[in-house]
Amino acid sequence: MNYNVNEKGYYGVFGGAYIPEMLYPNVEELRQNYLKVMAEPDFQKEFQQLLRDYVGRPSPLYFAKRLSEKYNTKIYLKREDLNHTGAHKINNTVGQILMAKRLGKSRIIAETGAGQHGVATATVCALMGMECIVYMGEIDIARQAPNVARMKMLGATVIPALSGSRTLKDATNEAIRDWINNPVNTHYIIGSAIGPHPYPDMVTRFQSIISEEIKWQLKEHEGRENPDYVVACIGGGSNAAGTYYHFLHEESVKIIAVEAAGLGVDSGESAATSILGKEGIIHGCKTLLMQTNDGQITEPYSISAGLDYPGVGPMHAHLCKTGRAEFMSATDDEAMKSGLELSKLEGIIPAIESSHALAIFEKKKFKEDDIVVVSLSGRGDKDLDTYINYFKL
Amino acid sequence: MNRINQKLEESKRLLSIYFTAGYPNLNDTVTIIQNLEKSGVDMIEIGLPFSDPLADGPTIQASSTKALQNGMTSEVLFGQLKNIRETVKIPLIIMGYFNPILQFGVEEFCKKCSEIGIDGLIIPDLPVDVYNDQYKATFEKYGLVNVFLITPQTSDERIRFIDSISNGFIYMVSSASVTGSQSGFGEEQTNYFKRIEKMSLDNPQIIGFGISDNTSFTQATEYAKGAIIGSAFIKHVTSFGINDVDKFVSKILKA
């Protein structure tokens, strides 16, 4: 079984490029060039150097001793939270801005939900001196004021998405409309492993540094490259894609994806796409998405803005359908509890997204000598308000 | 022969009007279609509303959101149009995004269209190659014309390919934009219109996006067989309701 994208842009039946003709030249230009550009030694040199000197890679693979003792198994945390800007998102934006430069683009657009991808995009635009426009749902702008301020400090223009439900899905629609209106000079930096081909593959490749590092770091720790499990939370699925990438075809490595169940999978307030979703088309790709019987895309819910997306990347839809990955979910309450637990046991305050991945230890029993690597995709600073309100701190 | 192909053979320049089904009220669909035909419109695009219309500007987005709130679905629309051919003769096209059609079932959707007397479909986010590989045979089985878009950025080679698999007309997007985002045409656009005119394609072209009045309609139809108006018509309906559509149409066509 092949879990990578095929030459037509599909992962099994998922993927493709379901885009209006207006976007075809842009997406086609990218499709024809992205692998070529990424293979250039000059590109690789600049990318690797920025990952090291600017992002602060490699991020540590940390053996979480007290957490391991509690759950009687061996838990390693991949510390993406220690990256510049506080999450894995920067790996992709560094890669894409270098791509945009080589394609001769001068203007960058992006969508953002909680603001992490927006901040990571604004950051690399400042670094490269490029114009940056970030679309963000009007409702998200109100709930994520510090990240809006960060983007502004970094020189970006933040445009509120006023259509539809005024959240991430609509911010993505607005970014796509901007791209339609500016087809020549603009590159769209998509933040997740979604969108028309080649975006899911390109984002996955830029994020694959995560699993590349896990391999050699685990070898140092344990004398072996492959863990028994890799675990990541999934919204669109960029940190998960990067965490899984180099293990996809290692049969001994089991893959666990953790979705946000919100108030409960059956509560009507959830973002567990693999359970609630059906095959359909969202933002240019065929994948699993939450929709009505009539094919209208519905609004998900999660306490974590980064997992609050009605679809899932096409690679993940394929991993789910083929059974290569085990899909689990964690509710708001379970995630919040795990976030607090990690803070107290290890002195690490995780992003609420990442807390979802940690919540599986209460739900699944691992063997004492299992090695479980969890992607700690982001830090909890941005979520402090939510933690304060939830725990009445 | 399909009504679209018949209409395209007429020597006049064609006016096609787009409206969102279910807007302003759920059951306005048939009245709008009848009024448009009476007022001299040549062809009608019935918009099947979608929650996430990527290629549309604020006007059509807002009308789609309202139509969905009103309860419009594929099933409801087909119910409203069931007897439309008893009163309406001009070509009718359904324009909608692919996901609702996919959920309805592409073959089932085509079958319904054919039973009712819908003549064609415009599905902006159904890619040319996917249509060609997977759905062309189905569309042809039910006698439906599928209409593709081209833009100023579409290469000549791709336009030739699109022309080769089209069986009605080509929808020429006037500029790099979403719907309803500009008015009037500059030199850049007329150069593009001329470039396409010179290609002498097999399928006639109808220009859409950015046409809102008699001036832009006249400009567009100098180079193309016809023109499509969407956002400007929706704005008219929003302001004046559905019984005054002849005023809108006569202003566009004023001889």
**Rounded CA Rg of chain A:** 19
Residue A260 and residue A329: Cα distance in Å, rounded? 6
Name which of A69-73, B102-106, B174-178 the model is least confident about. Answer: B174-178
Residue A21 and residue B101: Cα distance in Å, rounded? 18
* Inter-chain residue contact A296 with B181, CB threshold 8 Å: no
Backbone phi, then psi, for A192, in 5-degree steps?
-125, 175
Residues 6+ apart with CB under 8 A from B79: none
Sign of torsion over alpha carbons B248, B235, B233, B228: positive
Kindly list the residues of chain B whose beta carbon comes within 8 Å of any beta carbon in chain A. Answer: 50-55, 57-58, 61-62, 65, 68, 73-75, 97-104, 124-128, 130, 148-151, 153-155, 158, 173, 176-178, 181
Q: How does strand A325-331 pair with strand A254-262?
A: parallel
What is the residue type of A361? F
CA proximity to A295, closest of B68, B113, B101:
B101
Q: Which residues of B touch A195 (CB under 8 A)?
A: none
The residues of chain A that CATH labels 3.40.50.1100 are 12-50+89-203, 57-87+208-391
Cβ-nearest to B148 among A21, A177, A184: A21
Write out the H or E segment, with its range, that includes residue B113.
helix B106-116
Q: How does strand A186-189 pair with strand A74-79?
A: unpaired
Q: Look at the pTM and tell me if it is higher than 0.80.
A: yes
Q: Kindly report the CA angle at A147 between A141 and A148, in degrees rounded to 5?
A: 50
Q: Note whether A13 contacts B: Cβ–Cβ < 8 A.
A: no
- Which of A 128-187 lie inside 8 A of B, CB atoms? 163-164, 169-170, 173, 176-177, 180-184
* pLDDT tens-digit readout, A134-155: 999 998 898 788 999 999 999 9
What is the residue type of A251? E
Residue A117 has a CB neighbour count (10 Å cut-off) of: 30
Residue A154 has a CB neighbour count (10 Å cut-off) of: 20
Sign of torsion over alpha carbons A335, A337, A338, A342: positive
CB A356 within 8 A of CB A304: yes
* Inter-chain residue contact B153 with A183, CB threshold 8 Å: yes
Does pLDDT of B255 surpass 70?
A: no
Q: Which domains occur in chain B, in start order?
A: 3-7+14-253 (3.20.20.70)
Per-residue model confidence (pLDDT) at position A163: 83
Residue indicated by tokens 């992962």:
A11
* pLDDT tens-digit readout, B180-210: 776 678 888 999 999 999 999 999 999 999 8
* Inter-chain residue contact B181 with A281, CB threshold 8 Å: no
- Domain A12-50+89-203 fold is Rossmann fold (3.40.50)
* Inter-chain residue contact B149 with A177, CB threshold 8 Å: no
Residue A152 has a CB neighbour count (10 Å cut-off) of: 13
* Inter-chain residue contact A177 with B128, CB threshold 8 Å: no
Residue indicated by tokens 């009245």:
B31
Q: Active-site residue numbers of B? A: 45, 56
Q: Which residues of B touch A175 (CB under 8 A)?
A: none
Does pLDDT of A194 surpass 90?
A: yes
Distance from CA of A4 to the nearest CA of B (A): 20
Backbone phi, then psi, for A254, in 5-degree steps?
-85, 140
* pLDDT tens-digit readout, B26-46: 999 999 999 999 999 999 999
Cβ-nearest to A20 among B65, B125, B155: B125
Sign of torsion over alpha carbons A42, A45, A48, A52: negative
- Which of A 293-332 lie inside 8 A of B, CB atoms? 293-298
* Inter-chain residue contact B65 with A164, CB threshold 8 Å: yes
Burial of A286-321, coded b for 16+ CB within 10 Å and e otherwise, reads bbbbbbeebbbbbbbbbbbbbbbbbbbbbbbbbbbb
Per-residue model confidence (pLDDT) at position B183: 65
Name the pLDDT band for B175 (thresholds 50, 70, 90): confident
Which residue in chain A is spatially nearest to B175 when comparing CA positions? Answer: A181
Does pLDDT of B176 surpass 80?
A: no
Q: Which residues of A touch B127 (CB under 8 A)?
A: 16-19, 24
Active-site entry in A89, A169, A286, A382: A89
* Inter-chain residue contact A180 with B127, CB threshold 8 Å: no
CB A239 within 8 A of CB A207: yes
Residues 6+ apart with CB under 8 A from B44: B16, B17, B18, B19, B33, B36, B37, B90, B91, B92, B93
* Inter-chain residue contact A294 with B149, CB threshold 8 Å: no
Distance from CA of A157 to the nearest CA of B (A): 20
Token couple for B237 = 């309906």
Residue indicated by tokens 């009308």:
B63
Identify the residue among A8, A14, A18 best suited for mutation to test binding to B, counting B beta carbons within 10 A and taking the highest: A18
Give a three-class secondary structure readout of chain A.
Answer: CCCCCCCCCEECCEECCCCCHHHHHHHHHHHHHHHHHHHCHHHHHHHHHHHHHHHCCCCCEEECHHHHHHHCCEEEEEEHHHCHHHECHHHHHHHHHHHHHHCCCCEEEEEECCCHHHHHHHHHHHHHCCEEEEEEEHHHHHHCHHHHHHHHHCCCEEEEECCCCCCHHHHHHHHHHHHHHCCCCEEEECCCCCCCCCHHHHHHHHHCHHHHHHHHHHHHHHCCCCCCEEEEECCCCHHHHHHHHHHCCCCCCEEEEEEEEECCCCCCCCCCHHHHCEEEEECCEEEEECECCCCCECCCCCCCHHHCCCECCHHHHHHHHCCCEEEEEEEHHHHHHHHHHHHHHHCCCECHHHHHHHHHHHCCCCCCCCEEEEEECEEHHHHHHHHHHHHCC
Identify the residue among B52, B130, B161 best suited for mutation to test binding to A, counting A beta carbons within 10 A and taking the highest: B52
In a 10 Å sphere around its CB, with 0-12 CB exposed, 13-18 middle and 19+ buried, how is residue A128 labelled? Answer: middle
Per-residue model confidence (pLDDT) at position A166: 85
Name which of A301-310, A334-343, B171-180, B217-226 the model is least confident about. Answer: B171-180
- Domain A57-87+208-391 fold is Rossmann fold (3.40.50)
* pLDDT tens-digit readout, A37-67: 999 999 999 999 999 999 999 999 999 999 9
**Peptide bond preceding B24 in cis form (omega within 30 of 0):** yes
Residue A275 and residue B117: Cα distance in Å, rounded? 38
In a 10 Å sphere around its CB, with 0-12 CB exposed, 13-18 middle and 19+ buried, how is residue B166 labelled? Answer: buried
Distance from CA of B104 to the nearest CA of A (A): 7
* Inter-chain residue contact A282 with B52, CB threshold 8 Å: yes
Write out the H or E segment, with its range, that includes residue B17.
strand B14-20
Identify the residue among B68, B75, B101, B103 best suited for mutation to test binding to A, counting A beta carbons within 10 A and taking the highest: B103
* pLDDT tens-digit readout, A228-287: 999 999 999 999 999 999 999 999 999 999 999 999 999 999 999 999 999 999 999 999
CA proximity to B216, closest of B245, B239, B188, B182:
B182
Which residue in chain A is spatially nearest to B65 when comparing CA positions? Answer: A164
- Which of A 254-293 lie inside 8 A of B, CB atoms? 278-284, 291, 293
* Inter-chain residue contact B99 with A282, CB threshold 8 Å: yes
Does pLDDT of A366 surpass 70?
A: yes
* Inter-chain residue contact A295 with B100, CB threshold 8 Å: yes
Residue indicated by tokens 């566009």:
B252
Does pLDDT of A330 surpass 70?
A: yes
Residue B23 and residue B46: Cα distance in Å, rounded? 11
* Inter-chain residue contact B153 with A173, CB threshold 8 Å: no
Write out the H or E segment, with its range, that includes residue B18.
strand B14-20
Which residue in chain A is spatially nearest to B124 when comparing CA positions? Answer: A20
Kindly compute the dihedral angle of the four CA atoms of residues B58, B63, B64, B69, in this order, to the nearest 10 degrees. 130
* Inter-chain residue contact A295 with B173, CB threshold 8 Å: no
**Peptide bond preceding A58 in cis form (omega within 30 of 0):** yes
**What ipTM was estimated for this complex?**
0.94
Residues above pLDDT 70, as percent of chain A: 100
Which residue in chain B is spatially nearest to A161 when comparing CA positions? Answer: B58
Residue indicated by tokens 């037509």:
A8
Burial of A220-248, coded b for 16+ CB within 10 Å and e otherwise, reads eeeeeebbbbbbbbbbbbbbbbbbbbbbb
Is A382 labeled as catalytic in the residue annotation?
Answer: no
Distance from CA of A110 to the nearest CA of B (A): 15
* Inter-chain residue contact B55 with A22, CB threshold 8 Å: yes
Q: Which residues of B touch A281 (CB under 8 A)?
A: 97-99, 102, 125
Q: Which residues of A touch B62 (CB under 8 A)?
A: 163
Q: Which residues of B touch A282 (CB under 8 A)?
A: 52, 99
Beta strands in B80-223 (DSSP E): 92-96, 120-122, 145-150, 170-173, 205-208
Write out the H or E segment, with its range, that includes residue B226.
strand B226-229
Residues 6+ apart with CB under 8 A from B112: B78, B118
CB contacts < 8 A, A to B, total 115
